[in-house]
Structure 1
Amino acid sequence: MDSRARILIAAQAPGRRVHETGLPFNDASGDRLRAWLGISREVFYDARRVAIVPMGFCYPGTGASGDLPPRPECARAWHGELLPHLQHLQLTLIIGQYARAYHLPAETGTLAEVVHAWRENWPHRMPLPHPSPRNNLWLKRNPWFEEELIPVLQARVAEVLGHAPST
């Protein structure tokens, strides 16, 4: 994490593959997230531009229906220490329910309702669904997300980073 970062990606916890490689979003979720943002891997992993601070810092293990939730003591122990160092943030991407509960505690409703109300937090915060392939059905049921929100998000990311979105 670099204090000069302009974008914060507040996500859940590393998945198994990410845990094994030590690189956040080094999987299909990361490919989709970078496409949503309109940025390359190089920009995404440039800590001077993008800070990635998950709700949990280690792989929480596998449960009955996928990965277990992030361990709650991680956010309590580390977010208060880390986040104040990010003095240049212009956009926080809040990915998934656990990040939403921490960063937008007053927001209630379903994921679709909270994401659909993105303008309430714009232009500094953006709640997003997790980009996991497990959310393909959610994306299919909510076509407005990619049609309406993604182009605006890509323009904002480009503005914050000072360049045109990559394709």
Structure 2
Amino acid sequence: MQSLLQEIRQCEICKSQLNHVPRPVLNASKSSKILIIGQAPGAKVHASGVPWDDKSGENLRSWLGIDQKCFYDPKKIAIVPMGFCYPGKGKSGDLPPRPECAAQWHEVLLNELKEVKLTLLIGQYAQNYYLGERVKKTLTDTVRHFEEYLPDYFALPHPSPRNNIWRAKNQWFDIEVLPELKKLTSLILTK
């Protein structure tokens, strides 16, 4: 597993598509219990090399009901984005994750994560890739019907502060979804 992680961290498959040096960011262990599949690192995470090292990460840890120590313990949490490198800035935020990463690395890496009890699919890129035809018409509908994907997957919106407007319009998320997420997270991590 360590040699695979090292190989991924040295990957430059998308180098010609980026305006900066590739810096794949992920965290995993053979004994990880929960797998988080998000979009791609942002500029701050690209600079630090620490996954979810931003306000989105703070929000995600709050949603899960865990602290930083637990979140960054690869024996508990694996963090594998759809795109391992920061894709760069677009007109209305970060560009989409580079598609090469998931195609090149996800299957081989996920095959090593044999102890994973739950996979969090954060955002439409992860949901479209892993749920395929089971994904609903909108991200909101996919998240609203999160129970349909259990026990394997838990569909979530991105925890970015930019999505606070979405959360204000969809208060059921805080009332119905987050308590279930915290309950499952606690159950899995305390076993």
Aligned ranges 1:102-121 → 2 under 5 Å: 102-106=129-133, 107-121=135-149
Q: How does 1:4-23 map to 2 (within 5 A)?
A: 4-23=31-50
| TM-score (norm. length: structure 2) | 0.84
The counterpart of 1:133, out of the listed 156, 161, 181, is 161
Q: CA deviation at 1:81?
A: 1.4
Task: Map Cα deviations across residues 4-52 of structure 1 (whole Å, 9 max, x no partner).
Answer: 0010000000000000000010000000000000000000000001000
Bigger mean CA deviation after superposition, 147-156 or 117-126: 117-126
- Secondary structure at 1:104's aligned position in 2? helix
Displaced runs of 4+ in structure 1, greater than 3 A?
A: none
How far apart, CA to CA, are the structure 2 residues paired with 1:113 and 1:157?
22
Residues matched between the structures, number: 163
Query: Which consecutive unaligned segments of at least 5 residues does structure 2 have?
Result: 1-27
Amino acid at match of 2:62: A
**What residue in structure 1 maps to residue 8 of structure 2?**
none
Deviation at 1:122, TM superposition (A): 1.8
Give the whole-Å Cα distance in 2 for the aligned partners of 1:46 and 1:88. Answer: 14
TM-score normalized by the length of structure 1: 0.95
1:155 maps to a residue whose letter is K
Q: What's 1:152 paired with?
A: 180
- In structure 2, the partner of 1:32 is 59
RMSD over aligned CA atoms reads: 0.9
CA distance in 1, matches of 2:152, 2:103: 23
Residues of 1 paired with 2:150 and 2:108: CA distance? 25
- The aligned counterpart of 2:20 is none
Computing the radius of gyration over CA atoms, which structure comes out larger, 1 or 2?
2
- Which protein, 1 or 2, shows the higher relative CO under an 8 Å CA cutoff with sep ≥ 6? 1
SS of 2:162 mapped into structure 1 = helix
Between the two proteins, what is the percent identity of the paired residues? 51
Partner Cα separation in structure 1 for residue 79 and residue 47 of structure 2: 17
